[in-house]
Amino acid sequence: MKPTGSHFEYEAQRDDNLMQCYHELLSSAEFVRMPEIYRQVVDMPAQRFWVSEERAAIVISSMMRGDKLENMRPLKREMYNEIYRRAMALREEDPTLPISQLVAQVVEQPAPKFYLTPGSAKVLICKIRKEWYYQRTKRRLRHCF
């Protein structure tokens, strides 16, 4: 579990990618049902695996030692299993590469989905929209301060 106050280094990129998918779905939807939109957003392909290279390398190396990730949430486990599968495929191509390089290459590849729950996507999207409206209002009223 993350310590309190920790910050995800790719948060802005992930948020941009999530909002791009969200807007794409909204613009193409005939009838908007928000729970369905959130479910579809998390199942869309992501630009990359939204995990740091360091964290992924730690988890993948523990998987190589036999850890089955039984105490991990299902979507996180699924994401790490996909990273592990791709890293092992790369390792077969070039066995001389260290795990850190293999994992770094894999996490920068496009991911099949966001590996978020629809509820998590809803929270993130609402937070992003709230911040966007706040910044827009702040710009509009900047002459008052």
Helix (H, G, I), strand (E, B) or coil at 76: helix
CA nearest 62: which of 103, 115, 93, 94? 103
Q: Would residue 90 be called left, alpha or beta, if left means φ above 0 and alpha means ψ between -120 and 50 degrees?
A: alpha
pTM of the shown model: 0.87
Residue by residue, pLDDT tens for the chain (145 residues) are 667 777 788 999 999 999 999 999 999 988 889 999 999 999 999 999 999 999 999 999 999 999 999 999 999 999 999 999 999 999 999 999 999 999 999 999 999 999 999 999 999 999 999 998 888 787 777 777 6
Give the dihedral sign, CA 50/15/117/28.
negative
- Domain ranges for the chain, please list them: 10-48+112-134, 51-109
